[in-house]
Amino acid sequence: MYEGIDTIVLYEELAYEDVLPVAWRRLPEPHDPVLVNSFADRNLRVLQAVAVLDEHGQLEKADETSPHAADILRLDMKLNLLLDMVGRLLASSQPRPKPTAVRFNALGGVFQASPPFPDLGSQGVLEIYLRDCIADPLRLVGRIASIGPDGRVKVRFIPPGEHVADLLEKLAFRKHRRQVAGIRQPKAR
């Protein structure tokens, strides 16, 4: 049964799609394995932090009846507000690329670029800033696979490692689940 929900895919896998600060930075050939490993370590920390931030506000139904559920919910909301404020301060003190439409998973990414476009086949790193309150971007090394006439650039990543790939898959799944849940919720009258 079609519910009006389009699953976001890229390279035949579930993908994460959003409008985020994104930059393509060219890397020298061949890629430096030490640099790629350092990106993998940082990517792991970035994705773990995003997973923790995505958990906010999720109380089990059983917890709502506990005597401290309201207090915990208020603390959670205050912490989220504090994280948002710190994120805004961080974003204003460290300039980030202009937000653009991006879709990615562990296999590759597609983003809307501005001229001058990267060279077809060139190697580089796609930097994606997932949250304002996280200083480091996700850095995924790859090669430009195609460039559309409209400036849509498609990148094929080198494998980011099992743990990073797993967290990227979970990130895309959580976003997809939230979109489905948002569409299925009855509208208030």
What local confidence, expressed as pLDDT, does residue 56 receive? 58
Band (54; pLDDT cuts 50, 70, 90):
confident
The pLDDT-based confidence of 137 (bands split at 50, 70, 90) is very high
How far is it, in rounded angstroms, from Cα 70 to Cα 76? 10
Cα–Cα distances in Å, from 91 out to 23, 72, 79, 88, 130?
15, 28, 18, 5, 12
pLDDT on residue 64: 60
Beta bridge partners of 32: none
What average pLDDT does the chain have?
84
Per-residue pLDDT band for 63 (boundaries 50, 70, 90) equals low
Tell me which CATH code domain 9-56+96-184 carries.
2.40.10.220
Instruction: Summarize the confidence of residues 154-182 as an average pLDDT.
Output: 91
Amino acid sitting at position 142: G
Cβ proximity of 89 and 133 under 8 Å: no
The residues, ordered by sequence, that sit 6+ positions from 153 with a Cβ below 8 Å of its Cβ are 24, 110, 111, 112, 113, 117, 118, 144, 146, 147
Which pLDDT score, from 0 to 100, does residue 61 have?
46
Hey, which residues does 139 pair with through a beta bridge?
Answer: 127
pLDDT tens across 83-119, in order? Answer: 777 777 776 777 889 999 999 999 999 999 988 999 9
Q: What is the pLDDT of residues 143-153, one digit of tens each?
A: 999 999 999 99
User: Where exactly are the structural domains of the chain?
Assistant: 9-56+96-184
For residues 174 and 181, what is the distance between their CA atoms, to the nearest angstrom? 10
Q: Are 112 and 100 in contact (CB under 8 A)?
A: yes
Among residues 140, 85, 137, the alpha carbon closest in space to that of 107 is found at 140
Q: Which residue has the higher pLDDT, 25 or 134?
A: 25
Q: What is the mean pLDDT of residues 136-162?
A: 95
The reported pLDDT for the residue numbered 1 is 32
Give the pLDDT of residue 121: 94
* Residue 65, pLDDT score: 67
Report whether pLDDT(41) > 60. Answer: yes
Confidence class for position 24, pLDDT limits 50, 70, 90: very high
